[in-house]
Structure 1
Amino acid sequence: MALSRGTAARLALPGLLVAGGAAALAFGLHLAFPVVPQLTAAVGLGMVAGQVPAVQRLLDGALKPGIAVAARRLLRIGIVLLGLKLSLVDIAGLGGETIVVIVLVVTITFLATLWFGKLLGLPGTQPILVAAGFSICGASAVGAMSAVTRSKDDDTATPIALVTLCGTLAIFVLPVLRIPLGLSTEDFGVWVGLSVHDVGQVVATAQIAGPAALAAAVVVKLTRVLTLAPMVAVVGLVERRRDARNAALPAGHPDIVDRPATKRPPIVPLFIVGFILAMLARTVVVPLLDDTASGAVLEVADVVQTILFSLALFALGSNIRFRALARTGWRALIVGLASWALIAALSLGAVYLLA
């Protein structure tokens, strides 16, 4: 029986309050240790909370409805607001050659990771979620892709853990390699933007080399984010065709792919449409405002997006169980590390090529 909106809101409130408190704590950790991005701190707190037996019982009980709302609905609203960071004018300023290279790096990493994940036999939808997270934009890509693949929470938790681990390692590893690799400040920023996963991790890594590196990294990274919409649309189309093939086969046929008992996903989910509209607003509408108004709009949107992502990533992190990962996650770890190495190598080659 469907719950009324009021009842659903009351059930969700405890979990949302806990996620909000965790987001505030993550902000405090970021202030105390600026090298740690707030979103990385949020998912880390969730991962720690998910290992405590007493907290696990609460997460699986009274807190579960609110945690589910944060991990899904709030994440999708945050993805919509992410579009306000993207200006097509800034992306066009990169030049056609750079844009083509970015698309190639994303596509090759996605397909290679998907293939390797299936080769190692990752369960469920983990191969495609790991591929999306490492090639496009980390946890937000995992969340977006899980919507069209109708992934279980268990399948989503492992890719979130992997992109958090590798993205955090990048903050410390990539700056050390800049001088030995002979990268200029701008080239280092391009490398970071091409290879690091979440936007917050990109900022934390690139700012170490200075403002020029940070500016280059953010533009390149946001261009990678732009590939999220077409990737999700393609996967949505594949999922619908798979459902249609299943429906045409007789019951019990060995070629039927087991799918969750839910309605077919749209080719382009509504929140991805919102993401595209927000991007267009950033390109067309925001520049029409005066500097004060446009700055205020973008600043408020950025703060709200960060808050929503912090709540969502704490919720996603809290679904991770290290004991289960220790039994079954070694293959996913191999795939994640291989994908991280691949995108770093491809990106470095692209930087040398563009230079």
Structure 2
Amino acid sequence: MGLEEVITASKSGFVQTLISVSLVMTGGIVLGRLLRVEKNTTLLIAAGTAICGGSAIAAVAPIIKSENYQNSFALIVVFVLNAIALLLFPFIGQRLGLSQEVFGNWAAIAIHDTSSVVGAGAIYGEKALQVATTVKLIRALWIIPLSIVLAFFSKNGDKRSIKFPWFILLFVAAIFFANIFPAFESSYAHFSWLGRRAMVVALFLIGSNITLHQIKQSGTRCFLLGVTLWVVTAAFSLFLLTR
């Protein structure tokens, strides 16, 4: 992806991300209280939905000092919805005739994990993949401000547990390298293909670790919270992107 394209996607994605992260976190907390889901589990599911799924949950968990079972519940909810979104979003996008750019933005906003965003984008098209990846990684940066807020305002907040999502720097470095050394463009295409295949393997491995027993253990309320938050986020963001 060219540097200019990344900058363009970043500018448009920043405002969308700011609004969506704020709304999803607020809505998730309110909905969690209404459903009487434990506070930490609510925060984990909301963070996973608002930012980047498992990565956000892993970043937030040590800060709010959540229990292992709460982490597991949140991760199971997010991973199950990821698997559904991977197949459902491209189907909906094609049915609605969404453009590559609109679909890329929608996938980045409404699908939890970066891996599933990349997978859905790859299914939909090259441009959708580029936009989705860029906007999603911008979204992942919000792990930092969210972690800071939770560290200061959460009752048991641990400021020392705040972590930077280093994988974003690798993405930026790859973009700059490709723009500085355009002569290797043919090689970049091979690396891109290899990356997409590796992502398929990663998604398979994630899915293979989810069992029906784990899903049942997560509880109806946790799933109801996760599904409701996800559906509302997907529907509302799609409405805004296509109006």
Q: Same fold (TM over 0.5)?
A: yes
Matches within 5 A, 1:176-215: 176-215=91-130
Contact persistence 1:91–1:223 (CA under 8 A): no
Could you tell me which residue of structure 2 aligns to residue 265 of structure 1?
A: 158
Q: Is 1:275 the equivalent of 2:166?
A: yes
Judged with a 3 Å threshold, the aligned counterparts in structure 2 of structure 1 residues 191 and 128 are, in CA distance, closer, same or farther, namely same
Could you tell me which residue of structure 2 aligns to residue 225 of structure 1?
A: 140
Which of 1 and 2 has higher RCO (CA within 8 Å, sep 6+)? 1
* The one of 340, 347, 350 aligned to 2:230: 340
Could you tell me which residue of structure 1 aligns to residue 21 of structure 2?
A: 106
Deviation at 1:267, TM superposition (A): 5.9
Matches within 5 A, 1:125-164: 125-164=40-79
Deviation string, structure 1 residues 75-94 (Cα, Å, up to 9, x no partner): xxxxxxxxxxxx99765422
C-alpha separation in 1, matches of 2:102 and 2:115: 19
Could you tell me which residue of structure 1 aligns to residue 221 of structure 2?
A: 331
Q: Which has the larger radius of gyration?
A: 1
Paired residue type of 2:102: D
**TM-score, length-scaled by structure 2:** 0.78
Judged with a 3 Å threshold, the aligned counterparts in structure 2 of structure 1 residues 119 and 221 are, in CA distance, closer, same or farther, namely same
Deviation string, structure 1 residues 125-163 (Cα, Å, up to 9, x no partner): 100000011111011111001010111110000111111
C-alpha separation in 2, matches of 1:95 and 1:139: 22
C-alpha separation in 2, matches of 1:101 and 1:123: 29
Paired residue type of 2:166: F
Q: Secondary structure of the equivalent of 2:97?
A: coil
Contact persistence 1:167–1:196 (CA under 8 A): yes
Judged with a 3 Å threshold, the aligned counterparts in structure 2 of structure 1 residues 142 and 180 are, in CA distance, closer, same or farther, namely same
Q: Which has the higher helix share?
A: 2
Judged with a 3 Å threshold, the aligned counterparts in structure 2 of structure 1 residues 322 and 175 are, in CA distance, closer, same or farther, namely closer
* The one of 141, 153, 157 aligned to 1:238: 153
CA RMSD of aligned residues (A): 3.5
Deviation at 1:282, TM superposition (A): 3.6
C-alpha separation in 2, matches of 1:189 and 1:281: 17
Deviation string, structure 1 residues 313-345 (Cα, Å, up to 9, x no partner): 96xx97x88557536610001001101101101
Deviation string, structure 1 residues 193-237 (Cα, Å, up to 9, x no partner): 211111110111111122111111111111211211111111111
Paired residue type of 1:208: I
Q: Which runs of 5+ in 2 are unaligned?
A: none
Q: Secondary structure of the equivalent of 1:145?
A: helix
Judged with a 3 Å threshold, the aligned counterparts in structure 2 of structure 1 residues 210 and 88 are, in CA distance, closer, same or farther, namely closer
Contact persistence 1:105–1:346 (CA under 8 A): no
Contact persistence 1:114–1:130 (CA under 8 A): no
Could you tell me which residue of structure 1 aligns to residue 241 of structure 2?
A: 351
**TM-score, length-scaled by structure 1:** 0.55
C-alpha separation in 2, matches of 1:150 and 1:89: 41
Contact persistence 1:233–1:268 (CA under 8 A): no
Deviation at 1:181, TM superposition (A): 2.1
Matches within 5 A, 1:18-33: none
Count of paired positions = 228
